[in-house]
Chains A and B, each alone.
Chain A
């Protein structure tokens, strides 16, 4: 329905720059998520798209037509607010109907008392009633139409807020952290409902969140923002597997990626505390690097991963978190002050006793970042990219656990 183009959007409050030169094209029907830590400018950006705040520089186009001078309701966008922003004095029906009454009734037909004079009004209202009913039915809130927002649960309010956005059939849905006021369980449920909704409506969605799980699970593409810039734009898989820099690598993924400080040795390999990794980084000897390892790429030796020529690091188990189907193991590297590695392995039996074990990983699973935190391109090796999916290895040990 609509292609949304942002060109050189900047925003500053006095001397403080909140957004710096944002360029972003969002395709028709795409689900794009703006993700980032608080203060990264993602909410400001979505509010600028909505027309709630003017940008300092740059322009916004919908289907190639500039909309910068238009007021919010003239922009064919709808927005779902973090607080839902339901009108507390109106019933659910009135909340849902408001966008339509505003668009279809004349000023006189909206005025108290005066509106009773218009015969047209009743016809229009009947049409609106039907449309509101249809939307309410889709969202399963049709039984709640007579209630006020204060009489609704969090999840119900969330649906009303969604419905109010839907009734207008906007070209673009803007969602500003819509799930963050829900409890954890409902949040998971609403994630899939939102994804379904997007699939059904085929409208353009711009979704703001600070929760990387929401970004990863629902989006077609994710724009990670930091310090008023988009620091990486790509599919969720691209962000996870090829983070452009340390900030993205650390923000995306849970548990957080393992980071090990190292430097390039004289032979070009990466030297890290307790071991070395054979990688052709192309960096000069002595350069400082950071090696990133996803927790699932590191496996304790007793689990006998099918790695070819893995790197081995001696470590000692520090803490174990049992999550049921999988467990998170925190290791201290032997011989390295305060350096640790986190592993994520399937199964729930205790793996290692108190003595040191070797942690194994393949060189190709490493992400290397230079001193400035930028990703260093590595020549493709057979084992690069995601580590092989491991079957749940029969767990050995179980030392009295």
Chain B
């Protein structure tokens, strides 16, 4: 029983990997497994890792793969449910009360006494707090999406703890409670990604409800594949050198290690400059694409020739 299951799962994971590849996202085994598990267990994925390794990109790629719309919620300090979940359309609500006031006379015509008027009023639908006056924000949109959606809650670590707690219900049962309306359940379960840059520790309660995927910087081979897929025009020898160079940069003691997105940028830069191989002058001139701190640039500047040599040999 397990054997059949395992190979079926293996195939599914490989299929996901293939699917990502066609849309230009090179996924490691871990990433593909996570996406597969998220589908199979309908659980959200919490993605952590250094900036620029493709955390947000993963959600975009998944949305392309599943053919479902991507709904994105960028977190920041002070984000609350009014911006994340829903908001009442006050203006319309106020107008509605105005209209109601005017019509009240017509409605109450013929009613005798307070009791009868009240009964009349109760016959009326309670539209003041109804879905018509509800303005859906990303989370509610994701729950209401008929054919499912990919929900990306980006940089959850930037939000407040209260917001994190508020997400728990959504992540656990894919439902949400609106005091005036009751509980709203997901029409079809969305695929949820949460990303975090680890600026603060995420609460255990949230972590417990998610699969936890850690995306590290890619190794040499994976990064070469990524560059090959993103910047296909680049000659393979130069790609070899370039990735080797970036990999050795990451091993150095610098403030901010270059991310994958920066490697891609650099590859594009070199392509623009019609470079055929890494030369110290060229590297020095374009180092600011890779490194974002002056102190880092100064530190690396001296070592450039030696590093190029190593990158070409290794």
Question: Do the two chains bind?
Answer: no
